[in-house]
Amino acid sequence: MSDLLQIAIPRGNKRERLYALEVIFTEWLGVTFAVSEHNQKTTRITCVGHAGQLDLPDVLLDAPEAEWRNRIPGTFASMPLSALDGGPGALPALFAVPGVETGIVRRGVEVAIPIDIVGSCFFMLSRYEEFVAPSTAMDHHGRFPASESVMFRQNLLERALLDEYVQLLRRVLNQLWPGVAVVRGRYEVRMTHDVDRPYSTFGQGRTGLTRNIIGDLARRRDPKLAARRVRAYFDRGSQAFALDPNNTFGWMMNVAEAHGMQSTFYFMAAEKTAFDFGYSIASLEMRGLLQAITTRGHEIGIHPSYYSGTREAGVAAEVAQLEHALSAANITEWSRAARQHYLRWEVASTWRRLANAGLRSDSSVGYADSIGFRCGTSRTFSAFDWTTRSILPIKEIPLIAMDVTLSGRRYMNLDHSAVLATMERLARECRKNQAPLTMLWHNDTVVSDQAKNQFKALVEAVSG
């Protein structure tokens, strides 16, 4: 049986429709398809040489570009949608036709899903709402906050809505055309670490030492850590970096390897600023660390600096610095992956700047103020360029949860038990949708024995 799908799309806004279709069917479902245009207000899917038809409504993109580019959705409610197995089910409808509460309509071998899956996919993946958002919506770091998003306002941020839509499409396609080879996803934990401060005492002044010791005793209540910090500070020999409390890299790799994970470490290669620690990626200590990471089979990425996103040559210059350090360490291959410092990602330009710098993937698109599915998915997908209205040669790996977001006092401010429960919920959502879970833990947040034990418990919970 041929697995070629024929997809007829409404006329107009073709580039946006093709982008969404490419991600849904090629990248996520692994299905071959051809596209044609027709004059109807539906996306119609058929299988060449076989009976059957699947219709999806056209809602978001059913307007001239000048209109839909400035259309900020009003209210989005959870609409009940019948489950395909005959049981009750509810699936939130981001864009839908009137009467969506009646659920899927079946007439023989013809099926109609009342949700605009193509438009919803474009809306979430292109970060449409961020593109049209006013500058006043941004926080003091120039980031689009979760609190401004549609999904947060509708209490849906912890639901991977697009992944649920993909699962629905997979089931319907398999029922209509059992011979179509639809790819299934799989759950895995993608552990990542941003290396903002690889050391805290090594080569540092006494003011910082005193501040950290006070934190060890008063906040972390760990006198052993304070003693280790003092020893590392006064050791000016070859063990100074090895003794530094922030040097948790080997320990984190041990934890990852114990659960069959490959970690990615994002290193900075920028000068010191008010927001950038400014360590030398070319130093002997960093060179040895880069070698240790690659020797053990883990990956190295770049962590572009705070201001890199607003400087045309910023990212490319930092990539060159990292590659110089890698070459000195006899490392010829690296992931060419990026994550912006402070998650300072801007919808209209950052993906394009990263792609122009020769990077292959980004993992910046997660919220600083809340965990959850900023793009409605945890699956990797091709980035969209609002300037050319086309696919960019760079993939986005959505960031779902970060340590600072979960326990930081300025953000969610959760204790360990609440962090664990939250991460277990996210893991269940990803497992349900056969999709990966990408999480970020900094090397300098697991310096105390208590933090290490909590991190090990967390990794056990999400990977078990």
Cα(19)–Cα(203) distance, integer angstroms: 49
Closest CA to 260 of 446, 426, 459: 459
Tens digits of pLDDT across the chain (464 residues):
456 999 999 999 999 999 999 999 999 999 999 999 999 999 999 999 999 999 999 988 887 777 766 655 543 444 455 444 444 567 888 888 876 767 888 899 999 998 899 999 999 999 999 998 888 999 999 999 999 998 898 888 999 999 999 999 999 999 999 988 888 899 999 999 999 999 987 666 666 667 776 767 667 777 777 677 777 667 655 677 888 889 999 999 999 999 999 999 999 999 999 999 999 999 999 999 999 999 999 999 999 999 997 666 689 999 999 999 999 999 999 999 999 999 999 999 999 999 999 999 999 999 999 999 999 999 999 999 999 999 999 999 999 999 999 999 999 999 999 999 999 999 999 999 999 999 999 999 999 999 999 999 999 999 97
Burial 355-380 (b: 16+ CB within 10 A, else e): bebebebbbbbbbbbbbbbbbbbbbb
What's the pLDDT at 74?
A: 43
Rounded CA separation 117/24 (Å): 9
Secondary structure class of 172 (helix, strand, coil): helix
For residue 225, count other CB atoms closer than 10 A to its CB.
21
Q: Is the dihedral of CA 278, 282, 287, 293 positive or negative?
A: positive
List Cβ neighbours of 257 (8 Å cut-off, separation of 6 or more).
Answer: 296
Q: 170 is written with which tokens?
A: 């997979």
Tell me which residue has tokens 């089979």: 297
Give the C-alpha separation, 132 to 149, whole Å: 12
**What order of strands is seen across the sheet that includes strand 42-47?**
33-38, 5-10, 42-47, 53-57, 110-112, 105-107
With CA atoms as reference, report the closest residue to 32 among 22, 40, 41: 22
What pLDDT is stored for residue 203 in this prediction? 60
Interatomic CA distance for residues 102 and 81, integer angstroms: 7
Q: Tokens 């960031």 label which residue?
A: 399
Provide the 3-class DSSP secondary structure of residue 87. coil
Residues 6+ positions from 49 with CB-CB distance below 8 Å: 1, 2
For 364-431, list the strands marked E by DSSP: 381-385, 390-396, 401-402
**Structure token digits, residue 40:** 């109807």
Local structure of 190: helix, strand or coil: strand
Burial of 317 per CB tally in 10 Å (0-12, 13-18, 19+): middle
Type and span of the H or E element at 192: strand 189-195
The DSSP string of 437-463 is: EEEE--GGGS-SHHHHHHHHHHHHHHH
Res 202: pLDDT? 63
Q: Are 55 and 112 in contact (CB under 8 A)?
A: yes
Amino acid letter for position 407? S
pTM of the model: 0.92
Q: Assign 220 to helix, strand or coil.
A: coil
Cβ–Cβ < 8 Å for 316, 352: no
Please report, as a single letter, which amino acid is at residue 148: E
Query: Rg (Cα) of the chain, in Å, rounded?
Result: 24
